[in-house]
Structure 1
Amino acid sequence: MTTDQTSTPADGFSYTLTRTLDASPAQVWQAWTTPDQYAQWAHAVPGSVELDVRPGGAWKATMQTPDGAEFPLTGTYQQVAEHHRLVLGMDIPGRPDPTLMTMELTEQGPRNTVLTLSQTCETEEERDMAEQGSGMLLDGLEGFLGDGARG
């Protein structure tokens, strides 16, 4: 995994995570956009994941930390380009506009996909927390795809 961090206070605090996965873009896309598959690798509470994967469609999931704490996440899909790009808007309490996270998939052969996840946050602390959470997500996805659990 590679990680890039840029601190540009005028535009926010950004990070980019990149992973090369042993799966096709279609398999990665399915894992990210199918509720039962997403719940298996994303540390979500069973039954809490709803994904309406289309521009303007809503998504929600209740995530569970390793110590058992639960926190709900909600948002809407901003852009959907099947097997290539997904832009998620995440609702942040007290903010009028969602925080955007972009996932891009680049095929590197029949069984290799480069996944790039990026986000810009308002504060350095928010960025660091989001980056840590995104890293955990990618660890889970990599394990899920590596276990042959794909459909």
Structure 2
Amino acid sequence: MSEMETMETVETPHELVLTDTFPVSRDEVWAAWTDPARFATWWVGPGFRTHDLVMEVEPRGRFAAKQSSEAGDFTMPFAGFYVDVVPGERLVLGLSDEPSPDEPMRTEMTVTLTEVDGGTRQEFRQTGVVTDEHFAALEAGTRVFFSQLGAQLAGRS
């Protein structure tokens, strides 16, 4: 293996920070993050579907879902626990393959909602240790999700 190939597979700390403003109330954005039926419509990549959602929106509550290709030949599960929940304002979710919220998390996602003129500002932070290549894909995919969230919210306003 060449030095370049080795460097590409090394996992390093990353932080993804994305900020969006939606023309709806904080309650509407909060519902999109906490209602399984709504969440499943925007937290999904093109050609996939989100299903088997578990959303126990309270500290230490379980969070789990699967994303499957429409052809059914690929499924990606993800799971973890809610670390902090401040209704209408902030969600912190830790993703983990462990069965307990007391175990270390692979990555942590924080969503902070703030009222602004004309709507709600959403700040999303995701921290964790991944490869540089995976981080680029994570950022691109998350931007797609939030574009879909914005379209959903604009349709409800």
Read off the aligned partner of 2:111 and give its amino acid letter: M
Q: Is the 8 A contact 2:80 2:94 kept in 1?
A: yes
Could you list the runs of 4 or more consecutive aligned residues of structure 1 that deviate by over 6 angstroms after TM superposition?
Answer: none
**Which of the pair is proportionally richer in helix?**
2
Distance 2:38 2:14 in 1: 30
Identify which of 133, 138, 152 aligns with 1:144.
152
Question: Superposition RMSD on alpha carbons, in Å?
Answer: 2.5
Deviates more, 1:130-139 or 1:38-47: 38-47
Render the CA deviation track for 1:55-104: whole Å, top value 9, x for unaligned: 000011112468864311101000101111100101158xx621101111
Flag structure 2 segments of 5+ consecutive residues without an equivalent: 1-11
Flag structure 1 segments of 5+ consecutive residues without an equivalent: 1-10
Match of 1:25 in 2: 26
Distance 1:142 1:118 in 2: 17
Identity of aligned residues (%): 29
* 2:135 maps to 1:127: yes
Mapping of 1:90-101 within 5 angstroms? 90-91=95-96, 97-98=104-105, 99-101=107-109
Match of 1:5 in 2: none
> Secondary structure of the residue that 2:111 maps to in structure 1?
strand
Distance 1:119 1:132 in 2: 13
Structure-2-length-normalised TM-score: 0.76
Q: Is the 8 A contact 2:49 2:70 kept in 1?
A: no
> Secondary structure of the residue that 2:60 maps to in structure 1?
coil
> Secondary structure of the residue that 1:48 maps to in structure 2?
strand
Match of 1:103 in 2: 111
Count, aligned residues = 137
Larger radius of gyration: 2
Q: Is the 8 A contact 2:56 2:62 kept in 1?
A: yes
Distance 1:117 1:67 in 2: 31
Q: Is the 8 A contact 2:50 2:65 kept in 1?
A: no
Distance 2:68 2:148 in 1: 13
